[in-house]
């Protein structure tokens, strides 16, 4: 984020939850979109997508995950179910219903909200979505847990982030990565992130996906390194959803974060989906 963007950034607001606060911001006027980033990311991961959504006439709320960014680290539990509770509480606070745009872990959380509280969810946009656990590999899991140990998680995540941004990187990637790492260097936030990597379980999302009836858009980077076959994963997710509108968009030259790697393509897909469901 450059200096002019930082100057124009909306002020952080806080949602009070039983064990702490969730940091978020709200801009615009119109139907509500709630944007939630993935594990290890900040809500500014939507910095390139938000202006287009605002210009199209939407209210855009972007939220940090618990233990990330401007949210508190006082929580005792992290993961899909906990994030779903935070998203649901934010929607209730702001408008009562919304389209949820969730990346990675937050996509799984969005599925849970849509299944458990359908009146709150008018649509889902799932970006690089984890809605089920990947095949278990004990060696890879052990390496990842070692990488994300609190003592050196900031240094290791800085080295790992470029692999998740496979393909075209945002022009401001270096600056954004520094903001992520600066956040993780705060000891309590590094510990919270480490705890998130260990506690996150996508089984609750997979168990509920068949119950989702909200219209949905699945957006997957063609080079997403978190999936052995990103296209096959996107098609499985789409086939498991039962909304009257279910769409899939594969984004070229994008990894796990199409919203910042290819914001124009992502915005076009999102706006097309929103227009489509507004005329259901």
The model's pLDDT over 157-204, given as tens digits with 9 standing for 90+, comes to: 999 999 999 999 999 999 999 999 999 999 999 999 999 999 999 999
Gyration radius of the chain's alpha carbons: 17
Q: Report the pLDDT value the prediction gives residue 8, as an integer from 0 to 100.
A: 65
- d(CA 270, CA 218) in angstroms, rounded, equals 10
Is 86 within 8 Å of 22 (Cβ atoms)? yes
What is the C-alpha separation between 14 and 8, in angstroms, rounded?
19
Residue 6 confidence (pLDDT): 43
Q: So what's the pLDDT on residue 7? A: 44
pTM for the predicted model, two decimal places: 0.95
Q: Which residues pair with 27 in a beta bridge?
A: 60
Return d(Cα 220, Cα 256) in angstroms, integer: 7
What structural domains and CATH numbers belong to the chain?
3-136+200-278 (3.40.50.1820)
Cα–Cα distance, 210 to 207 (Å, whole number): 7
* pLDDT reported for residue 234: 98
Query: What value, to the nearest 5°, has the Cα angle with vertex 164 and ends 161 and 169?
Result: 85
233-237 CB contacts, 8 Å cutoff, 24+ apart: 237/126, 237/129, 237/131, 237/209
pLDDT above 90 covers what percent of the chain? 89
- Whole-Å CA distances, 165 to 162, 223, 226, 263: 5, 9, 11, 13
Positions of the chain with pLDDT under 70:
1-8, 280
The pLDDT score that the predictor gives to residue 5 is: 46
The predicted structure's pLDDT at residue 131: 98
Structure tokens at 64: 């940090």
- pLDDT, position 1: 45
* Residue 76 CB burial class (10 angstroms; 0-12, 13-18, ≥19): exposed
Q: Which of 19, 34, 143, 167 is nearest to 91 (CA)?
A: 34
Could you tell me the strand order of the sheet in which 13-17 lies? Answer: 13-17, 20-27, 59-63, 32-36, 98-103, 121-127, 216-221, 246-251
Instruction: Quote the strand ranges of the chain, DSSP E.
Output: 13-17, 20-27, 32-36, 59-63, 98-103, 121-127, 216-221, 246-251
* pLDDT at residue number 145: 82
At 280 the pLDDT is 65
**Distance from C-alpha of 132 to C-alpha of 204, rounded to nearest angstrom:** 8
For the chain, report the end-to-end CA distance as a whole number of angstroms: 37
């Amino acid at each position: 984020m450059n200096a002019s963007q930082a100057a124009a950034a909306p002020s952080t607001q806080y949602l009070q939850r039983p064990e702490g606060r969730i940091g978020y911001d709200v801009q615009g006027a119109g139907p509500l979109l709630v944007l939630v980033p993935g594990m290890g990311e900040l809500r500014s991961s939507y910095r390139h997508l938000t202006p287009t959504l605002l210009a199209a006439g939407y209210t855009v709320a972007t939220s940090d995950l618990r233990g990330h960014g401007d949210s508190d680290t006082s929580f005792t539990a992290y993961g899909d179910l906990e994030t779903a509770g935070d998203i649901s509480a934010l929607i209730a606070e702001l408008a009562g219903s919304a389209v949820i745009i969730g990346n990675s872990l937050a996509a799984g959380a969005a599925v849970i909200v849509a299944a458990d509280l359908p009146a709150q969810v008018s649509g889902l946009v799932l970006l690089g979505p984890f809605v089920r656990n990947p095949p278990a590999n004990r060696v890879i899991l052990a390496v990842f847990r070692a990488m994300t140990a609190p003592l050196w998680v900031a240094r290791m995540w800085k080295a790992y982030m470029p692999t998740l941004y496979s393909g075209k990187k945002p022009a401001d990637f270096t600056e954004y990565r520094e903001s992520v790492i600066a956040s993780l260097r705060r000891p309590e936030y590094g510990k919270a992130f480490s705890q998130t990597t260990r506690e996150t379980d996508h089984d609750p999302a997979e168990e509920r996906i068949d119950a989702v009836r909200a219209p949905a858009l699945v957006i997957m980077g063609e080079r997403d390194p978190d999936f052995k076959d990103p296209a096959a994963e996107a098609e499985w997710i789409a086939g498991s959803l039962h909304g009257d509108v279910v769409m899939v968009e594969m984004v070229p030259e994008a990894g796990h974060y199409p919203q910042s790697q290819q914001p124009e393509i992502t915005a076009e897909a999102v706006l097309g989906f929103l227009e489509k469901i507004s005329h259901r």
